Structure 1
Amino acid sequence: MPATPSVVLHDVTFTWPDGTVALDHLSTAFGSGRTSLVGRNGAGKSTLVRLVTGQLHPTSGTVRTSGPVDLLPQRLATRPEDTVADLLGIRPALAALRAILDGDAAPEHFDAVGDDWDLEERAAAALDGIGLGAIGLAGIRTGAAVLDRPVATLSGGQAVLAAVAGIRLRGRPVAFLDEPTNNLDRRARGLLLDLVDDWRGTLVVVSHDRELLEHVDETVELRQGSATVYGGTYAQYEAHVAVQQAAVEREVRVAEQRHRAEQRQRIEAETKIARRARSGRKAAEGMPKIFANEMRKRGEQTAGKLRTGYAEDEAAALSAKHEAESRLRDDESLHVTLPVPDVPASRRIATVTVRGRQTIVQGPERVAVVGDNGVGKSTLLDQLVGVPDAREHPLPETSAVPHVDRVAYLPQRKDTLDDTASVLDNVRRDAPHVPVAEVRNRLARFLVRGDTVDRPAGALSGGERFRVALAALVLADPPPQVLVLDEPTNDLDLTSVDQLVDALRAYRGALVVVSHDETFLERLDLTTRIELR
């Protein structure tokens, strides 16, 4: 007997307040074990996750889970005062435990701790497992110092790993990880894959990361409002879809041939009917009028039946052709056209110094900044674009000084957008003189159109957020002379990554990019590579 699904969505519809339908009568289920949820940007994956985790409520239909659901969101919402214990989700219980150990026997402390008296030890072990633990002198664990460490001192990748470790630590029966490999270096990715392989309970991974998608038991694709379950990994899903699409393409060709044949037969029939009509008229000459009218009437009836029959056959063939074509995958893709800035080859763009070694970025160069999580790549970019805190707290012997004024920056968290403002207002902020109609037309090329343009930026999915943030950079007036991109492929589906690569290769300004995606970097035809250690 098959296992009872851990998550069931039945006839779920979700409509945004502006009337946009995100999911329409969707039914699907996630079984126990490891499942990937895949689909193009904007397909509704993040909306589905927010419905399952209770952040949103369906307009109609039902969502049922086998127990409490935990979530790693695309963007970790942290506060300046947060610590590693907050990322693990244990700060209240940890504070209660420490208060008891310090002699405070208040009942609420015991309620907060429950039976979890070894919480601090288990938390320290979880952090050790992801490389964030600390061993003191003579092997004495100093996990408290790590748990109290400010989140602001962690890299983006370290914060993600700590949050995933917290989900494992809490042990809820169902967990969703939304783009968990964003910002992770090779070592951190390996640690995350180990966590996934050893996961207990139901795990649903939302990702475009091919490597991660090979560590699941089944794949669920969300496409055009429908969810389809495929057994196996993403590679097996792709193979299944390729075979399926090859069969559909053959059906389309056969349907097209049949439609053309029915068209020819109808045309030939019309020609025969016309000839018979002419012959009938000649034969009727000299006949008594009553006989001529009867012969004409019968001829018209016969011709009408023939036309109806051939027209119905042609219509049926055309309908079959359209039905087959509807099963062909012809999804829209991102169309990115970057501006053409005035950057001569002799123009000095920036000076980057790493451990005393100086690199001059000059003209339309393509520069990659690489290194493990936590070595300061994002801090270096912050210096380059003039973030005040990065200038006040520079890395040792490392600096980045811009020599141009027009620098456009797309940070990891895409937090350049005002979540409370509409998409249109966000984009027009840097291009106030561009007509609204032109902004809407440009956004449509980024697959942002219709009512989405008027929606608050805070309601966007990760992929939509990236496209809007990039559109804001592209539409800036005057155009930037250097693009600074921090992990730009995060949240992008594979087709959109291809489009971004094509656009960046054609860009004639300077480009500075941080990425752990080596395949992406190799495709950019880099001129310079700066490694931080």
Structure 2
Amino acid sequence: MTALHTSDLTLTWPDGTPAVTGLDLGLGPGRHGLVGDNGSGKSTLLRLLAGELVAERGSVTVDGRLGYVAQAPLPDAGGTVGDALGVGPALRALAAIEAGSVEVADFDAVGEDWDVAERAEAALGRLGLHRLEPGRPLAEVSGGELSLLRLAGVLLHRPDVLLLDEPSNDLDGAGRERLTDLVRGWPGLLLLASHDRVLLEEVDDVGELRRDRHGATSLRWYGGGWSAYVAAVEAEQDAARQAATTAAADLRRERRDLVRARTALAGRARTAAKAEREKRVPKIVAHGRRMQAQESAGRYRGLHEDRVEAARERADAAEERVREDAVVELDLPATRVPERREVARLEALVPAYGDAAPLDLVLRGPERVALSGPNGIGKTSVLRALTGELPPRSGTARVHVPWRMLDQTRSGVLDPALSVAANARLAAPGTEEERLRGSLARFGFRGRAAERTAAVLSGGERLRATLACLLLGEPAPQLLLLDEPTNDLDVSGVRRLVEALASYEGALLVVSHDEAFLADLDLHRRVEVRRPQPS
């Protein structure tokens, strides 16, 4: 019986930020989804379960062989497909033995795994990667193919317990279908952290990981897939909003009662003081009455103050159950491009990697264009040709306006040693602090959150911080190149991204397999990157 258990699992980052606090988890066979806002700790939890991170307190117990597919890092670009599968040395040693080698080291590298080549071929075929030879350099493999390679490498070891962290990142439609089939038919225990709504429909239950305002971690489970989870949360939120409204009304009433009580007590005190001054009663009697009144007033006032405090605590607790749904609204007039201005041009471009036919494309004004095509055809290489990072095999690529590139690795924008706010200041040195802070808040970095160092951000938080720096940067970008921008983003993060891009007034060239995201972008057109026609 496969199982996964944790007890009091706790981890704090070096800067003192809680990562996971006191988490208890018990899972048996089945397909379990894991969702939560970016930064709630999903990837951290999976890394703790896989043994990549060591908890400062608590325990992890895994019954069965464990396999783990992380979001990152990507395999070493200097290796081969076989290396990405984790069997590169064994395959090279086997090839050497078949060529006549009698070296002991080669036989040691193969060990008992004499069918490694057949198993590697079967694992690649299962995920639609038939065309990838084990000796092929990884530099020639697309991001989507790399994602499937990581999964294939784990499946080679036949795990009973499988942990998947955003496995649909970079995958085209065919790749997503194969991944969905794998999830649907998984026979053991599967824990899937994902924002992919289609994939999450295949799970048996959904666990929502949340962090409260004090940093404490909670994990609550909902039966059924994504749709059942959304319906349950919406019902809870309707009740939470009603409770918050009622609690706020109670707090206002208790505050009014406290004001009335203080006014009444003050009036009594004035009446008693006047009677004492006018000597209407003996001095000793007046003093006793005054002391008794003060004690009674103190109890009365304390009772009302206690009621106000209790009402405030109920209102705070009710308000905390209502989820934030702030809208991202940015003012980016410097990104505006005149309608007829030529922004970029591709002429007969054949990208450095992939097997694309020559591509012609002209971007004018604030056009929004999606590059489509299967994994491995060269879409990312087209974007890199535009930036000048990767010269094409043939043809030309020219950009005529300031541009910014958001690549799949999110690298080169954030300094990991600096805070989010410090990174934004470097990107936009002339921006007023109040405006900069307001813009960061719209991307979900409010107050102390903006002071967190980039190194400890989750994948989705890092993307939001990167996008904020790109859009606020100087000179303002009039062309944005986005490569799989929804990777690592939760559902609310995707919404924030769409809202931020709605404020952007420049040209947009995006590569994405997230059809729901593309539909929300209000694209002007799609351009398909095709394979050459057979001669």
Q: TM-score, structure 1 length as denominator?
A: 0.85
CA contact (8 A) 1:423 1:468 kept: no
CA contact (8 A) 1:416 1:469 kept: no
Partner SS state of residue 118, structure 2:
helix
Give the deviation of 1:349 after TM superposition. 0.8
Paired residue for 1:140? none
Paired residue for 2:501? 504
Paired residue for 1:5? 3
Give the deviation of 1:271 after TM superposition. 4.9
Paired residue for 1:516? 513
Residue 344 in structure 1 maps to residue 338 in structure 2? yes
Paired residue for 1:72? 69
Give the deviation of 1:336 after TM superposition. 5.6
Q: How many percent identity over aligned positions?
A: 42
Give the deviation of 1:363 after TM superposition. 1.5
Give the deviation of 1:81 after TM superposition. 3.3
Give the deviation of 1:15 after TM superposition. 2.2
Q: 1:254 to 1:466 in 2, by over 3 A?
A: closer
Give the deviation of 1:108 after TM superposition. 5.0
Give the deviation of 1:492 after TM superposition. 1.3
Paired residue for 1:234? 226
Residue 170 in structure 1 maps to residue 151 in structure 2? no
Q: 1:487 to 1:311 in 2, by over 3 A?
A: same
CA contact (8 A) 1:12 1:25 kept: yes
Paired residue for 2:476? 479
Per-residue CA deviations over 1:1-53 (Å, capped at 9, x if unaligned) read: xx6732x3322222222333322333323433322221111112222222222
Residue 16 in structure 1 maps to residue 18 in structure 2? no
Amino acid at match of 2:207: V
Residue 390 in structure 1 maps to residue 391 in structure 2? yes
Give the deviation of 1:403 after TM superposition. 3.9
Partner SS state of residue 153, structure 2:
helix
Q: Quick one: distance in 2 between partners of 1:271 and 1:16? A: 51
Partner SS state of residue 194, structure 1:
helix
Paired residue for 1:325? 319
Residue 161 in structure 1 maps to residue 153 in structure 2? no
Give the deviation of 1:230 after TM superposition. 2.7
Paired residue for 1:380? 382
Paired residue for 1:139? none
Give the deviation of 1:168 after TM superposition. 1.3
CA contact (8 A) 1:339 1:474 kept: no
Q: Quick one: distance in 2 between partners of 1:270 and 1:196? A: 64
Paired residue for 1:126? 123
Give the deviation of 1:181 after TM superposition. 0.8
Aligned length: 513
Q: Quick one: distance in 2 between partners of 1:512 and 1:372? A: 17
The 10-residue stretch of structure 1 (216-225 or 89-98) with the greater mean CA deviation from structure 2 = 89-98
Give the deviation of 1:60 after TM superposition. 2.6
Q: How does 1:104-253 map to 2 (within 5 A)?
A: 104-106=101-103, 109-133=106-130, 146-224=133-211, 225-253=217-245
CA contact (8 A) 2:29 2:189 kept: yes
Aligned-CA RMSD value: 3.2
Q: Quick one: distance in 2 between partners of 1:377 and 1:63? A: 41
Paired residue for 1:83? 80
Q: Quick one: distance in 1 between partners of 2:243 and 2:452? A: 41
Q: How does 1:382-461 map to 2 (within 5 A)?
A: 382-387=384-389, 389-391=390-392, 393-394=393-394, 401-417=397-413, 422=418, 443=440, 445-448=442-445, 450=448, 455=453, 457=455, 459-461=456-458
Amino acid at match of 2:250: R
CA contact (8 A) 2:2 2:161 kept: no
Give the deviation of 1:223 after TM superposition. 0.8
List structure 1 segments (4+ residues) > 6 angstroms apart after TM superposition. 281-284, 331-335, 432-441
The 10-residue stretch of structure 1 (219-228 or 411-420) with the greater mean CA deviation from structure 2 = 411-420
Q: 1:37 to 1:338 in 2, by over 3 A?
A: farther
Give the deviation of 1:384 after TM superposition. 1.5
CA contact (8 A) 1:335 1:446 kept: no
Partner SS state of residue 156, structure 2:
helix
Give the deviation of 1:360 after TM superposition. 2.5
Q: How does 1:25-44 map to 2 (within 5 A)?
A: 25-44=22-41
Give the deviation of 1:441 after TM superposition. 7.0
Amino acid at match of 1:513: V
Amino acid at match of 2:344: A
Partner SS state of residue 518, structure 2:
helix
